[in-house]
Amino acid sequence: FRVYRPQCYRFEVFEMYRRVIFVGVLPLLAASTDRRAILGMLFALMSIAFYNETKPFIRSSTNTLAVQAQYATLITYGIALAIEVNILTGMPPFLIGVFLTVVNTLIIGLFIYKEAVRFSQEREEDSSKMKSQAHFLEWAVGKCKAEIDMILDNLEVDYLPPTHALIFWYGTSTEASQCILSGIPAVP
């Protein structure tokens, strides 16, 4: 349940029922395939609205993927309806199959692209955060003991989580900055 926002922790139950409706109930609701396609489109539209309004996932990219997947379901049922009522007569079945494959595969490609962009942004933010911390330490060089004590107190409160250590460096500020930015693991 870690992928859901705290107020949406029960969303997995909704998702299970949604899948049961699409796979198990929908075929039993209507005898004719065109009615099943219409009901499938209706349920897909309701799913789109529900996912769009609740945005149950923590990451916005996951919410976007979920909505796009619901649109793919809507398009799939729409094509099924068009085939059933003979709107697509004369169109080669292979072309219809290629279209549906592209629509459903495109969602995966869009998700991979969005996640790559998100990863790149997070990596850039982490890098700039490390640089700002390194500059903060460089700024402390050449100060008197009282000023360094005050700076270290602020550093500990603002920047030093309990999982990290504060290391003192004897050397040039350039060497200290390079060491901090290098990502070299600390050796006790």
Cα 100 to Cα 168: distance, rounded to the nearest angstrom: 61
Site of tokens 């529900």 = 50
Question: Region 89-117: what's the mean pLDDT?
Answer: 88
Q: Is the dihedral of CA 80, 16, 45, 118 positive or negative?
A: negative
Token readout for 135 is: 């500059």
116: phi > 0 → left, psi -120 to 50 → alpha, else beta; which? Answer: alpha
CB 73 within 8 A of CB 23: no
- For 33-82, what is each residue's pLDDT tens digit? 889 999 999 999 999 999 999 999 998 888 988 999 999 999 999 999 99
Whether the pTM exceeds 0.75: the reply is no
Q: Report the share of the chain in percent with pLDDT over 70.
A: 72
Quote the pLDDT of residue 49: 95
Token readout for 45 is: 């539209």
- Which helix (H) or strand (E) covers residue 71, if one does? helix 60-84
More confident residue, 37 or 136: 37
4: β partners: 57
Q: Quick check: 179 pLDDT over 50?
A: yes
Question: Region 150-175: what's the mean pLDDT?
Answer: 63
Cα 179 to Cα 165: distance, rounded to the nearest angstrom: 15
CB 10 within 8 A of CB 50: no
Mean pLDDT score across all residues of the chain: 80
Confidence label for 138 from pLDDT (cuts 50, 70 and 90)? very low
Site of tokens 């250590």 = 165
Q: Quick check: 160 pLDDT over 80?
A: no
